[in-house]
Chains A and B, each alone.
Chain A
Amino acid sequence: MPLYHNDDQAMLKDNVAPFVAEQAPVAHLRSLRDSADATGFSRDLWAQFTEMGLPGMLVPEAHGGLGMGHIEAGIVLEEIGRNLTPSPFLATSVGAVAALAKAGGTQASRWLPAIASGEAIVALAIDEGAKHRPDRIATTATRAGNGFRLDGKKSFVLHGHVADMSIVAAKTDGGITLFAVPKDAKGVTADPRRLVDSSLASHVTLDGVEVDADAVIGEVDAGGEILDALLAATRTGAAAEMVGVGQGAMDMTVTYLKERKQFGKLIGEFQGLQHRAAHLYGEMEVARATVMKAQQLLDEGSEGAKLMVSVAKAKAGRAANLAVREGVQMHGGIGMTDEYDIGLYMKRDRALAEFMGDVHYHIDQVARMNGY
């Protein structure tokens, strides 16, 4: 399969790009932020997403979705990134759907149609400390009565305070098990924190939370594979969103270089800036290709996907980080003001970079997957 969008995908982009740009431009993020919105995203906007079928893009058709792939989801995420749109799309429609579709069974039948219809928001309760370490999960699930009792603390749970269900990764006797923990479960406390990019992420405490045996997503002790699917999808999605953030920041900066005059010249005439902008262009192009390759391998179910996903998260992280740093620097003083959007790009990039493993984590993974 060639590494560019086919006609259907190009058409999807032609539909989604103007929709997001018109309905949820950066001003939309500002208005949510300035009104101290307590949800973290606009439910009206989510209803519009639903009208277009977007929440269920990755949901199999048998469960009421569109049965599309990661390339298509990536098209939506890139536009979300470019417009800094606050949205539960990544966690709910990409991460949670990947896990549920991989697991099948009761929880898939219960939640996938609800995600596709836009009714359910799902959060991912994976991380437990300030850094992403999914191989060191300390939250426990112990057998109790007909089901399990969950104890532990989760952090960086996006939409955790409003999610209808959270996917919780916990340690069981023989491995990792994933649980679908509903919003009203007794013993769950979500403490939302405002992050640097104005999004809301919760510290979630699980204090003797009792769930039925059928709350298990997939099989007991066999959550590792499902968690891998969740992580691969979410990391690739975050990388696609970062490509959008980086591209948005770069486009804004290149435009500024063509408008701003100093020393009687457009600053874009200075070779010192031209070369940096051109270098950034190369990094962004490489990041875009890498993310698309990871999406393609995931869609093919290829064994090489895992390596490429880490490469994509790392490369997109590096490129987008360069884009926002150069963006602020090249904007000069106004780049430091809240009034200009470029700083918002820097903030969103920082949050996405941390989400599901930062550049260092994924470069380390590349080394490990290559045996060193």
Chain B
Amino acid sequence: MSEVDAFRTEVREWLQANCPPEMREPVRDENDICWGGRKWVFKNDAQKQWLEACVQKGYTVPDWPKAYGGAGLTAEQTKILKQEMKRINARSPLDSFGIWMLGPALLQFGTEEQKVHYLNQIARGEIRWCQGYSEPGSGSDLVSLQTFGEDKGDHWVVNGSKIWTSYADKADWIFCLVRTDKANKYQGITFMLFDMESKGVTTKPILLISGNSPFCETFFDDVEVPKTQFVGQVNRGWDVAKYLLGHEREMISGGGAGGDMVSIGALFAKSLGKNDHGELDDPILRAEMAAFDTDVFAYRAMGERFMDMWKTGRAHPASSNMMKYVGTELNKRRHELVMSGGGSDALEWDSEESKGGARARSWLRTKANSIEGGTSEVMLNVIAKRILDLPGA
């Protein structure tokens, strides 16, 4: 047996022994996701058991080094683990902005001490992080941010506000872009880390068109941040931010096609019925769903190629912008079709049958996909300039 096959067998056996049956059910909604953190309450024993088993094995962050809480797997081994998890429908043991975003930034820019401290906390699901990037006046033009950290010798005093801070009200710590030099636009920002329980931090959830509040406004009023709590170099936080945005785009694009292999047409053929030829009984909707399914299967191949190339340094550094653009536009299209397929049932906002308006709320939520983490228009700008090398500002 080759090494690869041996590893696959080992993973398969481990998953069989350690992944509880409840954790092999599809994720139905937000509540099925395990985010971890100081305030986390496990939904059931299985969720807790699954997280603990993965933490012990390093499988919450399989490709991170063992010293930082990972399993030290190669790109190929990580892919095998993911394939095997998908094969049994295993849920992700832990989702977090620490894993997706801060972790990769620390791996790239952190000191050894920071890596050992913060990465292990993230890997074990002990600290839940949120991201402080956008501000009321700084959306697509992020670098114009105004939140200011005044130098007080051994610490900064931070004042300002952030917006669209995902789950800020549930997070333990924040990684935050703070201006530390007003005279220098790009080289005047520091990437700070601080506790959300620090004096002077307040959060206020924002009610969205979906009726939910996954995002917050976050206010800083004379918040003291020790000068040990920054990543990379002082005033060079933009480098970290740009690197991290690449990962954010990668993450958002990964969710774009909706993880499973279920075709949307197959799903709705059940509820809408079929004609005598076995075709979904609404020819134009069938055609649109089939075209969408085709694009999803195609995008899945793109996702596989992108990850294979990204992990081995073959991908264009800006190609995550393309993934984000294509993936988020696709996801919005999926939810438009889900609403069409659901008809008037999908319009229900709070009935029990509609699971509290799950379809309508998800549909509305997806409209943010192509706004958050860089709008589709910004993605196209980046592709035009950095990949196609088109002229102009």
Interface residues of chain A, those whose CB is within 8 Å of chain B, are 2-4, 254, 257-258, 265-266, 268-271, 274-275, 277-279, 281-283, 285-290, 292-293, 307-308, 310-312, 314-315, 362-364, 366-367, 370-372
Residue pair B297, A307 in contact (C-beta under 8 Å): yes
Over the window 377-390 of chain B, the binary record of Cβ atoms lying under 8 Å from chain A Cβ atoms (1 yes, 0 no) is 10111011101111
**Interface members, chain B 263-319 (any A CB < 8 Å):** 263, 265-266, 268-269, 274, 278-280, 286-287, 289-291, 293-295, 297-299, 301-302, 304-306, 308-309, 312, 314, 319
Complex: how many Å from CA A363 to CA B266?
14
Known: A258-B390, A285-B322. A370 touches B308 (CB 8 A): no
Residue pair B380, A275 in contact (C-beta under 8 Å): yes
**Does B171 make an interface contact (CB < 8 A)?**
no
Residue pair A290, B291 in contact (C-beta under 8 Å): no
Other A-B pairs, 6, CB within 8 Å; known A275-B377, A315-B295: A2-B308, A266-B391, A270-B392, A278-B380, A288-B305, A363-B287
Residue pair B384, A278 in contact (C-beta under 8 Å): yes
**Does B123 make an interface contact (CB < 8 A)?**
no
Interface CB pairs A-B, < 8 A, 22? A4-B308, A254-B388, A266-B392, A268-B392, A277-B384, A277-B388, A278-B381, A279-B325, A283-B326, A286-B298, A290-B297, A290-B298, A292-B301, A293-B301, A293-B304, A308-B297, A363-B287, A363-B290, A367-B279, A367-B293, A372-B274, A372-B289
Complex: how many Å from CA A181 to CA B391?
56
Residue pair B308, A3 in contact (C-beta under 8 Å): yes
**Interface members, chain B 338-393 (any A CB < 8 Å):** 377, 379-381, 383-385, 387-392
Residue pair B295, A289 in contact (C-beta under 8 Å): no
Residue pair B286, A372 in contact (C-beta under 8 Å): yes
Residue pair A269, B298 in contact (C-beta under 8 Å): no
Complex: how many Å from CA A286 to CA B323?
9
Known: A274-B392, A281-B388, A293-B301. A4 touches B290 (CB 8 A): no
Complex: how many Å from CA A314 to CA B325?
21
What's the dominant secondary structure at chain B's contact region? helix
Interface residues of chain B, those whose CB is within 8 Å of chain A, are 76, 263, 265-266, 268-269, 274, 278-280, 286-287, 289-291, 293-295, 297-299, 301-302, 304-306, 308-309, 312, 314, 319, 322, 325-326, 377, 379-381, 383-385, 387-392
Complex: how many Å from CA A364 to CA B278?
12
Known: A311-B298, A372-B265. A269 touches B391 (CB 8 A): yes
Known: A281-B388, A282-B326. A292 touches B305 (CB 8 A): yes
Residue of B nearest to A268 (CB): B390
CB distance from B155 to the nearest CB of A (A): 43
Q: Cβ of B379: which chain A residues have Cβ within 8 Å of it?
A: 278
CB distance from A111 to the nearest CB of B (A): 33
| Cβ-neighbour of A289 out of B298, B314, B391 (below 8 A) | B298
Q: Cβ of B309: which chain A residues have Cβ within 8 Å of it?
A: 2-4
Complex: how many Å from CA A275 to CA B308?
27
Residue pair B280, A372 in contact (C-beta under 8 Å): yes
Q: Cβ of A287: which chain B residues have Cβ within 8 Å of it?
A: 298
| Cβ-neighbour of A366 out of B293, B319, B381 (below 8 A) | B293
Known: A274-B380, A282-B383, A367-B265. A289 touches B392 (CB 8 A): no
